[in-house]
Amino acid sequence: MQMEKTKKVAAIANQFIQHARYKLTPREQKLILYMATLLRPEHSDFETYLVPVSEIEYILKSDVTKKHGSFYERLDELLDSITDKKITFPTDFTVDGVRLRGHINWVAGAVPKYDENGVLCVEFGFSPQMKPFLLGLKEKFTRFEFLEVAKMKSGFSIRIYQMCKAYYFENIRHGRNILAASIKELKFRLGIADKYPDFRNFRRKVLDVAKEEINEKTRLMIDYDFIKKGRNITDVRIIINEKTDFNPEMVEERTLRQGKKPGSPSPGGNDLQVRIGELTEAQRRAFNTLTEYGVSMAFAMEEVLPIIKGSELIGYEDFFVLFMLAFFEKKTNAKSQKEKVKAFTGWVGNQRFEEPNLYAQLVEQVVGRKKKLKDLERANRERAKSITAADFRKLLEEEKVIGRSPEPSFTVQRKTADQASRMNRVGEMADLFSPAKKDAAAPKPKAGFDFEQFKKEFPHIHKSIRKERQAAFENFTTASNYKQLLENSVQAYCEQWYRNQSK
């Protein structure tokens, strides 16, 4: 699912959010919410709604509870389960003093169908009894952005988030931000009335998981206050606050700056800067290539580098990334660099590079490139596999051995474009690492390196490198040593350019 398509909003009645009782898996909740984003305020009745199968595939991929089976099997299972799931809710009717419950289905049906453009979709229709909760809403309803729940892995997190958001935005104007409920009632709402009799398990598997995901991935911050009667915890008070700077598109950036992967426990306070410092030389080159191409630091670290797996690729991650970009450049229709970056991140999100045939092709190209290495570079890469880039460069400096310099930032896009062009020639193994042709008219630098003199002799090169490094260090602007980090990086890249010209 492309990120721009997920900027959709669903409106749901607060009465339904707070009092309906049901249990859905994360994928079922996401599908229902996505369907609700298709509704329009002007609609007076339900229509049938077409959801592209590609959108449903994204939901299935994002559900960690179901990874087995083919896509067809998982799709068929989802459609079967979503048409069978029921909702119960209290009504105003009583019999013998007991309030009756209402029982309805979420959807009336789910049928495969092509849309007018020939795209395979699933045609859904909401159950007619859902109309009061989704249509004609003028007050006491809450809007939910699909993007806010798309990355959640727990169905309990999604449900508790909906309850908290509905309560908060209805009551904060009156100064109330604490949602109180008995443990029994909360479990009823979550559809798990007969589960987790031991409160410790309920807290660990439901409440704590929901708190971590909500605080990490949504615009809300929540905390719990538990109430005891005797020795037993009977009630919970959920304290709800709103973040002032939340942007759902920056969720992964924020979690990485906090030093943790989405959905994982805190690794002791490490931030993005520390994690970058822990990369090996080849990983750091790969990371630099991605950020210089325009990919965000967090996305490069969290989404792209983890793709590179297998013993054949350890120590050669930079080769893999360059071949990834080269293949992408050959296939994409995007024109501007901004559009290319957007499309590339979409490819990564849709796991295009992890498709077996393409992945094997990229690995084969890396292996072919490895065979062309000179003995010194091969030996250095083997030594660099298990130490950080900083330690490796320090080792080389101490030994007075100069390995191949990382790719200059301002040549990455040109090199990937060149690679894409060469890959079009049948049977030719492309080599991204052959030296670039020098401009015969370019001035010949002197043998030594003086940074101040360099800025005077090559002001346009210095300006270009500084601009690139400022973009690469955008996440470090609040660091106390930001200026020093930036200046060191600019000087290093300028010296690198200078020495490349001297060869």
pLDDT per residue as tens digits for the range 49-80: 888 887 787 777 665 554 555 667 778 888 88
- Is 50:114 a contact under the CB 8 Å cutoff? no
What is the reported pTM?
0.49
DSSP states of 490-503 as a string?
HHHHHHHHHHHHH-
Q: Quick count: other Cβ atoms within 10 Å of Cβ 412?
A: 22
Q: Quick count: other Cβ atoms within 10 Å of Cβ 182?
A: 12
Query: Mean pLDDT, the chain, as a whole number?
Result: 78
Tell me whether residue 500 is exposed, middle or buried, using C-beta atoms within 10 angstroms of its C-beta: 0 to 12, 13 to 18, 19 or more.
middle
Separation in Å, CA 222 to CA 192, 217, 219, 264 = 21, 12, 10, 17
| Range list for CATH 1.10.10.10 in the chain | 1-151
Q: What is the band of 421 on the pLDDT scale with cuts at 50, 70, 90? A: very low
Domain 1-151 has CATH 1.10.10.10: yes
- Across 253-262, 265-274, 288-297, 360-369, the highest mean pLDDT is recorded for 360-369
pLDDT of residue 205: 92
Element (H, E) at 102: strand 98-105
More confident residue, 444 or 269: 444
- Across 296-310, 460-474, 485-499, the highest mean pLDDT is recorded for 296-310
pLDDT of residue 352: 85
Between CA 176 and CA 174 the distance in angstroms is 6
- Is 296:253 a contact under the CB 8 Å cutoff? yes
